């Protein structure tokens, strides 16, 4: 079993990375493979709503990180999506990535557990967690929680490490994610499959 961790921050070894790494460390201890996908500093364009991805599972634009992230997501059993808080929101590059990933390849996420992790100097954390959770809750994904909201505080990795409660929240998240994955796996072995989906109904409120 494998968990894909996405670091939305341009700082590849910054605060968000520090938080994600603590959760990843525990997942590995629990026997779950992990992989960190770094968005880095290169630009990621926003979704243009062209619909070119429909039934293809890939975005029409192949010149940035999105299709590479989709390939990684397809091979994962669970996800932890991390973001620095920018103006009380998840950072723009991450949102551009998630819009395009979930639109082009939403099917690969279905019924797989996921969690949001955010890092902030001070504020905007719960709004940013809510924002990321919305991708999960439109794709039948069980949301994994921790003993408190999944945030750390700091402007530098050293400050984040001093947020002892935040670091404990990350370790607890790692354990909870491992437990959820093991329960799903055990369920499959016992013949409990994912629920059967109904034929989709789409109502656009135009009459
Ligand atoms: C453009 C920008 C906007 C920010 N907005 C906020 C904010 O609204 N609230 C906050 O507490 N910190 C804010 N910060 C600080 C970062 O969220 C914080 O330093 C975070 O831990 C950085 O994570 P990173 O090292 O993974 O990039 C902002 C930083 C930047 C660059």
pLDDT tens digits along 79-99: 999 999 999 999 999 999 999
Give the separation between CA 8 and CA 69, rounded to whole angstroms.
11
Please tell me if the CB atom of residue 13 comes closer than 6 angstroms to any atom of ligand 1.
no
Residue nearest to ligand 1 atom 28, measured at CA: 86
Cross-strand pairs, 6: 37, 81
Q: Is this model's pTM higher than 0.95 or not?
A: yes
Please tell me if the CB atom of residue 11 comes closer than 6 angstroms to any atom of ligand 1.
yes
Confidence class for position 207, pLDDT limits 50, 70, 90: low
Give the pLDDT mean for 114-131.
98
Ligand 1 center–CA 169 separation, angstroms: 19
Of the CA atoms within 13 Å of residue 48, those in its CB half-sphere come to: 7
Q: What percent of the chain has pLDDT over 70?
A: 100
Please tell me if the CB atom of residue 66 comes closer than 6 angstroms to any atom of ligand 1.
no
The minimum-distance atom of ligand 1 relative to the CA of 120 is 17
């Amino acid at each position: 079993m494998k968990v894909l961790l996405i670091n939305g921050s341009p700082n590849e070894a910054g605060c968000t990375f520090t938080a994600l790494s603590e959760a990843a460390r525990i997942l590995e201890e629990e026997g779950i493979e992990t992989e960190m996908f770094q968005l880095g500093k290169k630009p990621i364009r926003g979704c243009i709503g062209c619909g070119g991805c429909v039934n293809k599972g890939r975005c029409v634009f192949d010149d940035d990180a999105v299709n590479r992230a989709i390939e990684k997501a397809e091979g994962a059993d669970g996800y932890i999506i991390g973001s620095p808080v920018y103006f009380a929101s998840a950072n723009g590059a991450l949102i551009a990535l998630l819009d395009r990933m979930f639109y082009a390849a939403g099917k690969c996420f279905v019924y797989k557990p996921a969690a949001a992790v955010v890092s902030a100097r001070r504020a905007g954390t719960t709004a940013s967690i809510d924002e990321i959770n919305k991708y999960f809750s439109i794709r039948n994904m069980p949301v994994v929680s921790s003993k408190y909201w999944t945030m750390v505080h700091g402007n530098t990795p050293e400050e984040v490490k001093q947020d002892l409660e935040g670091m404990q929240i990350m370790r607890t998240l790692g354990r909870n994610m491992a437990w959820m994955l093991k329960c799903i796996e055990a369920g499959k072995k016992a013949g409990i499959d994912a629920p059967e989906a109904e034929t989709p109904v789409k109502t656009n409120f135009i009459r």
